[in-house]
Amino acid sequence: MRAQVAIIGGGPSGLLLSQILMRAGISTVVLERQTRDYVLGRIRAGVLERGAVEMLHRAGCGERLAREGIAHEGCNLSTVKGMFRVDFQARVGEAVTVYGQTEVTQDLYAAQDAMGVVIIHEAANVALHGLEGSAPWVSYEKDGQSHRIDCDYIAGCDGFHGISRQSIPADKRTEYERVYPFGWLGVLSPTAPAAEELIYANHPRGFALASMRNEKLSRYYIQVPLSDKVEDWSDLAFWDELKRRLPAEVAESMETGPSIEKSIAPLRSFVAEPLRWGRLFLVGDAAHIVPPTGAKGLNLAASDVHYLSEALQGAILESDAGALDQYGPRALKRIWGAMRFSWWMTSILHRFPGQSDFDQKIQESELLQLETLESAQVTMARNYTGLPY
């Protein structure tokens, strides 16, 4: 088989890139290790920046998003002293759209199916070859048979645990990492959201977040020690702990119910550089991970796809090979912006094991500035709603 661009990974990064390239007349093939049901079963964040929304529209898969996405013009922050709101619209004239990543992935699959894109699921032992030459190729196995795809470029969209990043020689790769000493226990519940907008809570018992997917589906998180197991947390225990950490007036009136999904995710900041190795380009979680505080994961994947699709179109359609050199520097500038923001949100909202009284006072001072200084709110709102592309 031959395609101009072989895409490794059928998550949001790979599907969006494939969709944009196909619409530009560039042929793609997507190789995904899992089944489609497995990919669609993963629950991830659900807050889209305007840049990501616009990309989905330009890619021809924004119809349901336009109908079902909910605009949020601000969010709430809660501390032991009370709750305050950061008004994105008033501060920076922007809003975000609440729409689940699972829905985005579903819309992308539907659009790709409609265009007849080849998406190979359950592709095993994917390996990349000839990256430093002019004729790279990909090998994989499916149903016990070996296959080969010849291509001009390879996009590594295979997430944090994929093989693409590992295909860059270790001595040519630099990895920057911070691992946080706690996780998030998340619950998806068919209940009305606790509030109209998201609530990020800093509480002595630990961080909590009240989020949502729609008016009948809520998503909640609480900070837990990494040693906790999901099985240790009954629904009852979860609701009880969540309510203790949210503002009393919210906790009293909130609806609780069964959990549809419950999982614990560790928190990590990670960037691998460079993003390009010969004819291979890393995109999305394959190159970087953000802690979920601030919901930047999918949004960063979208901006990577934006920069890479421009670079590949320049190289393939306009024979401008220099366009490819632009990808890494352009994407990394924005990646580090989101790294800083999600690290900062994480550091001001969580209780860290061994946090000193001094650290605690600094955290309180950060939150007070955010509550009382317009300039601090402008910076937060600018980052939350999305740095410019």
Catalytic positions are 72, 200, 292, 296, 384
- Classify residue 75 as exposed, middle or buried by CB count within 10 Å of its CB (0-12, 13-18, 19+): buried
Neighbours of 163 (CB within 10 A): 16
CA-CA-CA-CA torsion sign (375, 51, 211, 362): negative
Task: Rule CB under 6 A: say whether 30 interacts with ligand APR.
Answer: no
* Structure token digits, residue 175: 């990895």
Among 3, 7, 8, 280, binds ligand APR (CB under 6 A): 8
State the binding partner of 294 from ligand PHB, ligand APR, none, CB within 5 to 8 A by kind. ligand PHB
Task: Rule CB under 6 A: say whether 163 interacts with ligand APR.
Answer: yes
Pairing of strands 261-273, 217-224: unpaired
Task: Rule CB under 6 A: say whether 123 interacts with ligand APR.
Answer: yes
Q: Taking CB positions, which residue lies at the least distance from ligand PHB?
A: 211
User: Measured from the CB of residue 285, what is the shortest distance to ligand APR in angstroms?
Assistant: 4
- Which of residues 183 and 297 has its CB atom nearest to ligand APR in the complex? 297
Angle at which helices 374-385 and 323-349 pack, to 10 degrees? 130
Give CA–CA dist 126/213, Å, rounded: 34
- Which of residues 77 and 138 has its CB atom nearest to ligand APR in the complex? 138
User: Measured from the CB of residue 26, what is the shortest distance to ligand APR in angstroms?
Assistant: 19
Q: Collapse the DSSP code of 258 into the 3-class scheme (helix H, G, I; strand E, B; otherwise coil) and give the result.
A: coil
- Which of residues 43 and 138 has its CB atom nearest to ligand PHB in the complex? 43
- Which of residues 9 and 337 has its CB atom nearest to ligand APR in the complex? 9
Among 55, 126, 208, 246, binds ligand APR (CB under 6 A): 126
| CA angle in degrees (0–180, nearest 5) for 297-159-49 | 20
Give CA–CA dist 138/151, Å, rounded: 8
Strands (E), 190-233: 199-201, 208-214, 217-224
Task: Rule CB under 6 A: say whether 73 interacts with ligand APR.
Answer: no
Task: Rule CB under 6 A: say whether 166 interacts with ligand APR.
Answer: no
Pairing of strands 174-189, 70-72: unpaired
Task: Rule CB under 6 A: say whether 183 interacts with ligand APR.
Answer: no
- Point out which residues bind ligand APR (CB under 6 A): 8-14, 31-34, 39, 44, 101, 123, 126, 157-159, 161-163, 284-285, 297-298, 301
